[in-house]
Each structure stands twice: as structure tokens, then as C-alpha cells.
Amino acid sequence: MQIYKVGGVVRDRLLGLADADVDRVVVGATVEQMLALGYRPVGADFPVFLHPQTGDEYALARTERKSGRGYGGFTFHASPEVTLEEDLIRRDLTINAMAEDDDGRITDPFNGQQDLKDRILRHISPAFAEDPLRVLRVARFAARFAGLGFTVAPETLELMRQLSESGELQALTPERSWREIARALMADHPQVFIQVLRDCGALKELLPELDALFGVPQPVAHHPEVDTGAHTLAVLAQAAQHGQPLTVRWACLLHDLGKGLTPQTEWPRHIAHEQRGLKLIGAVNQRFKVPRDCQELALLVGEYHTHGHRALELKASTLLELLQSFDVYRRPERFEAFIAACEMDARGRLGLEERLYPQADYLRGAAQAARSVAVPPLVQQGLTGQALGEAIKRERLKALQAYKAAQAE
């Protein structure tokens, strides 16, 4: 029985990166041997065990064969006869198909070390095209390692294009797709993930609403980059550069979907794109079963981001409606995420990346003014129910009017 570290932990060590999660493969062992040594089985589809002391995962070397559609359409075979190379060849990329023994010796049957040096993401074998999830995985790795200069090999991109055209992407479960999307959005260069998906034709299969934005012009006075798709990628890049959380990055990705529905006769203006986009944002949220916090913020940012940009011009009554929509009294963090998304949107324009965004502090001040209204005195006046609600609203409106007046001085 031989045990090897495999995959990401080997790759990242050779790149000088922080250790990834450690995956281990066991060659030459049976299920019975693992059980006799005290390992606890956890794998439902293939033999994976937890170490009796450390709790680390150990998987028996296995081969796989395509038996159906989608990510789960495989039959696995594990036995002591399966070699390390046979286990490694079923992996996706050469840089993920290296193994390391306890003495630090590297087994690299597919030249992964050379591709690391050349900064190439290259598939191992034609079997790559059997698993549609690999399209998303490769795009995610491209986003993760873009800062190191990695690019996708042309022949791998071609296989990804064939997979995209085959209809196999439709067999992916929402949960699997979202997991890859979420991880990619949290990479240092998430815009590269979207660009690679578009380059191989996967974006129009998975996110046609987003793909439709490329080639749609915007007014050059407000958007020097003109193209709405390019703007969206730039907004996403800003969100990553400023360390925004997943909720904000997801909202940034979807905020302008309504512009894809603007009739060409109205280009480059996009009047009411905020409202038009809500149905599309909702559809995307449902398609990938997006977590609720991401869903909510994406819809709110889609509807109100232009309010954010025009904050200093808004009437006190409109400001109050905006604050009410976000429930800033009980969920202040959601309004803060909205402000962040608006600022990323403003910065995601060619040549305007460093422009100040005074709307951010103005909106924070407005929220604080509305929150400063004391409710107990109104209750002490005997107000209840609808009358109390209306009184609170009147006092908050007064507070916002005073805030606006003070800002104007």
C-alpha cells in the first residue's frame, strides 16, 4: 500500500502558494485493508475513508468510465490493481495530475511541471470532454491563476467549446454550477472566469442574459468603455480589487442585465433598464439556486443602482423610500453592501477607476439620519399600529429633509 498527496496541494506547493486542501490517494489497497487499519468509510459513490486519528480523507486509486450525462454520469472502479498513473489520468488538467510521496518525490506522467513553468492550463486527455463541469473548473482556474500569467491552451479551449455546443452543460445540477461560479467570483480575477466562458461559448449556454450584454453600447459620456459587457467585467474586476464579499460580486455581475433587452432603436440609452432587468435577475437566481442573501442583494442593486449614483439629487421622500426598501433599520449591513456595489459600478468605467464616489458617504449619512429618529416618544403619545407607522415615517422624512439642508450648506 502506497499513499500520495495529489492534485491541488502538489500544484500549489510547486507554485509557492499557500497549501491547498490536502487530497490523498491510496494505491494498492482494498476496502477491507482500510477498514482493518481503522479508517472510516465516507464515500457514497467511490471508496473514500477518514484517517482514524487525524480525520483526513484518503481515497482509493480508481478509474472512471462515462455512463451517462452530466457531472454524475460516471461509473467508478477501485481495486488494488489500479495504478497511480491510471488514477491521475482521470483528472482534468496536467497541473492537477501530479502526485507526491512522503519523501517529496513527484510523479508527473503528463508534464504538469512543464505546464506550470509555461503558465498553461492544458487538459490531460480527450476524456476531458466527458465531464461538462470541467468547463467551469478550467474557467475558474483561469480566474484564480490569471495574476500569475496562466492562460488556457488553445486545444483545451476548443474542447471546452465542443462541450458547450454539445448540450452537456444543461445536465449540470444548479448546486454544482453555483459552487463553481461562487468560487470563481471570489478569485482575484473573476472577470477572467466570465471571459473564458464567453470565449468557449459556455456563457451563452449558462448565462445567456449576461452574454447578451456584449456588443450593446452605452452613452460614451458616462461609459467611455461603451460596451455593456466590457463594463460588467470591469465592475466585477473592481469588486475583486476592493475585496468585496460574494453578495456584492454577484450583484455587480447581474446589475445591468436589463440593458440586454433595450431595443436597438433606443441605443445607446437604456431608459428603465433597472425595472426590465429584475425578471432576468430573478431567472438567473432561480436557475442556479443562488443563496438568499445573494439573490436579495442582486435584485435590490439591479432596481436601485441608479438611485445610488443620483443620491445627491434625490428628494428627501425618494431617499426615504430607498432606505425603506433596504430595511436599513433592521438590516444596515445590506444597505452597506448596496453602497459598495454602486461604488464598484461607478469605478468600473474606462479611465474612471480612481474617481471619488461621494454618494457613498452621503447615503451612509442619510441612513444614519433616518435611524436617529426616536420611536419611544411616539409610542408614549399613545400612537399604535398604522398611526404609529405614519408618524415614524413623517419624523424620518423631516430628519432627511434636515440632513439634505445641512449637506447643501
Please tell me whether the overall predicted TM-score, pTM, comes out greater than 0.75 for this model: yes
| Secondary structure (DSSP) of 154-204 | HHHHHHHHHHHHHTGGGGS-HHHHHHHHHHHHTSS-HHHHHHHHHHTT-HH
Give whole-number Cα distances, 79 to 57, 83, 207, 226, in Å.
Answer: 18, 9, 40, 58
Q: Which three cell numbers stand for residue 155?
A: 486545444
pLDDT of residue 46: 67
| pLDDT bucket at 344, cuts 50 / 70 / 90 | very high
CATH assignment of 1-113, given 3.30.460.10, 3.30.70.260, 3.40.50.1100, 3.40.50.1820? 3.30.460.10
Res 303 pLDDT > 60: yes
Cβ contact 233:246 at 8 Å:
no
Other CB atoms within a 10 A radius of the CB of residue 392 amount to: 18
Each residue of 349-408: pLDDT tens digit?
A: 999 999 999 999 999 999 999 999 999 899 889 888 999 989 999 999 999 999 999 998
pLDDT of residue 43: 67
Each residue of 253-271: pLDDT tens digit?
A: 999 999 999 999 999 999 9
CA 195, 201, 207, 209 torsion: positive or negative?
Answer: positive
| Secondary structure (DSSP) of 257-324 | GGGGGS-GGGTT--TTHHHHHHHHHHHHHHHTT--HHHHHHHHHHHHHHHHHHTGGG--HHHHHHHHH
Other CB atoms within a 10 A radius of the CB of residue 134 amount to: 23
* Residues paired with 107 in a beta bridge: 99
Task: Kindly calculate the radius of gyration of the chain based on its CA atoms and give it in whole angstroms.
Answer: 26
Each residue of 47-93: pLDDT tens digit?
A: 888 899 888 889 998 886 654 554 454 466 778 888 999 999 988 99
Q: Which three cell numbers stand for residue 136?
A: 467551469
Q: Which residues contact 367 (CB under 8 A, 6 or more apart)?
A: 323, 328, 332, 335
The more confident residue out of 214 and 32 is 214
